Amino acid sequence: MEKEKIWKISLIIVCVLLVAGLATSLGILAQKVKVFNTEMGAVYDGAFYQTLDGLGDMENKLKKVQVSNYNKTKKELLQEVCVDAEVTALNLSRLNNKEFDSAKVIKFINQLGGFSSYLAKKLPSESITQSENEKLIKLTEVVSALEQAFAKAGDEVALGGNLYGKLDEGIKTLGGVYDAFDQTTVDYPEMIYDGPFSDGLLDREAKFLKGKTEISQEEGLARIKALYGDAESAGEVSGAIPSYLYSIADGSVELSKAGGYIVEIARDHEAGEVTLSKEQALTTAKGFLNNVGYDSVEAVWVSVNADIAYINFAFVKDGIINYPDLIKVKISLVGGEILGLEAQNYLYNHVERTISENPSDVSSIGFKEGFEPVVKRRVIIPTEWNTEQEAYEVAGRYDDAFYYIYYDLSSLEEIKVMRVIQDENQGELIV
């Protein structure tokens, strides 16, 4: 009897240990599943948003093809669409699951890339035919529909959870994407919020500051106090533009050691009721720039988002806009305070330039039929080879979008096409 009692107790202990061990194992397993779901969610989210970006890039370039009147430009854009299509198809393959069969959409993206490659190979020696262009327009419409459907899915996901979790719950978040594609078919061969040149040149030598007298940190502090009242020295900044850093009540200001020019301003912002018009903001911002030593600049781009205006100023001489000499300003439409300023491009690039005296006649430029030019002006633009080029800038409308097109000053050959898009979060963008 005693042995039986001991045996029962031993059995109970073993069972308890087994249950405890099982609970621990299940706990570890549950944690692993949770970690796996989190990691999968991150992978899924990343693939989704990269797909959305890819569709946007392709739509933008395909629309630029429509407004361009030069085969060389079209060839470059279509070659870029080919690359975008490959990357987008790869990201789409990562989205495939029981709720979203991406195979059909991937096939379309691959064929779009193939068709773009086919057209690019025949350019610039042979032009795109009317029939081919009509097919390209139809394909662009499909890409636009896909992008809109993906954006809508993203908005739904933003309300809570990640894509992987949403789909795992059986919610067909991407169902609209499939419908948008399935309802649009086409027969085809076997496919800164910143204004123009906001990135400027990549040359990181502050040409404008060469030979300028270096100020002391105390002299710089006196200048900042004259602008903002209370201020304190907050150290130094090394790099291509050696600077002093100062803290003010609601942010910081960076001042170049050579010449004492403002390099950057970053201030906090409190939302409020708009009291300044766009025109008043332009006047206020230009007055501030003149006051701190940036003369002969004019606004070349402005975008308003809620109660903030983003303005790009460029150096202008003899009516010619010097895009490499760019200063970006962020101004509050509530009280007119300068909330942000970036003058690096101006400090890097502003020099005296020799200007061509006998440019070609801008009226000789041949525009795409249907393009309505609004503004024509001479400009200097940065190139991808880290040089500068004289050009004509022609701004105008084609279909339902606004474009900036650049032509070589002498040959009148088309150099670059930029499209203005409206972003709900950032205002107007140039792409």
Going along 259-307, which residue ranges are E strands? 262-267, 297-305
pLDDT at 64: 94
Q: Tell me the mean pLDDT in the region 397-421.
A: 90
The answer to whether residue 32 scores a pLDDT higher than 50 is no
Neighbour-count burial of 159, counting CB atoms closer than 10 A to its CB (0-12 exposed, 13-18 middle, 19+ buried): exposed
Q: Is 182 in contact with 217 (CB distance < 8 Å)?
A: no
Question: In this predicted structure, which of 10-24, 142-156, 232-246, 360-374 has the lowest mean pLDDT?
Answer: 10-24
Distance of alpha carbon 379 from alpha carbon 322, whole angstroms = 6
Helix, strand, coil percentages in the chain from 3-state DSSP, rounded to 5: 45, 25, 30
Between 305 and 412, residue with greater pLDDT: 412
pLDDT at 282: 95
The answer to whether residue 237 scores a pLDDT higher than 90 is no
Share of the chain above pLDDT 70, in %: 74
Q: Is 203 in contact with 347 (CB distance < 8 Å)?
A: no
The answer to whether residue 296 scores a pLDDT higher than 90 is yes
Q: How many residues does the chain have?
A: 431
What are the tens digits of pLDDT across the range 327-379? Answer: 999 999 998 999 999 999 999 999 999 999 989 999 999 999 999 999 999 99
Q: In terms of Cα–Cα distance, which of 399, 426, 252, 267 is closest to 337? A: 267
What are the tens digits of pLDDT across the range 158-215? Answer: 665 555 444 333 324 444 444 544 444 444 433 334 567 765 554 568 999 999 999 9
The answer to whether residue 429 scores a pLDDT higher than 90 is no
Q: In terms of Cα–Cα distance, which of 338, 319, 320 is closest to 329? A: 338
The answer to whether residue 240 scores a pLDDT higher than 50 is yes
Distance of alpha carbon 334 from alpha carbon 130, whole angstroms = 51
The answer to whether residue 117 scores a pLDDT higher than 90 is no
pLDDT at 58: 92
pLDDT at 87: 87
Q: Where are the domains of the chain?
A: 16-182, 207-349, 362-430
* Cα torsion 317, 318, 322, 327: sign: positive
What is this structure's pTM? 0.61
Between 131 and 176, residue with greater pLDDT: 131
What are the tens digits of pLDDT across the range 69-113? Answer: 999 999 999 999 988 988 888 888 777 654 555 667 777 888 788
DSSP codes of every residue in 186-253: ----------TTTT-------GGGTTPPBPPHHHHHHHHHHHHSSEEEEEEE-SSS-EEEEEETTEEE
Mean pLDDT of the residues in the chain: 79
Between 297 and 3, residue with greater pLDDT: 297
What are the tens digits of pLDDT across the range 244-265? Answer: 999 998 889 999 999 999 999 9
pLDDT at 11: 43
pLDDT at 266: 87
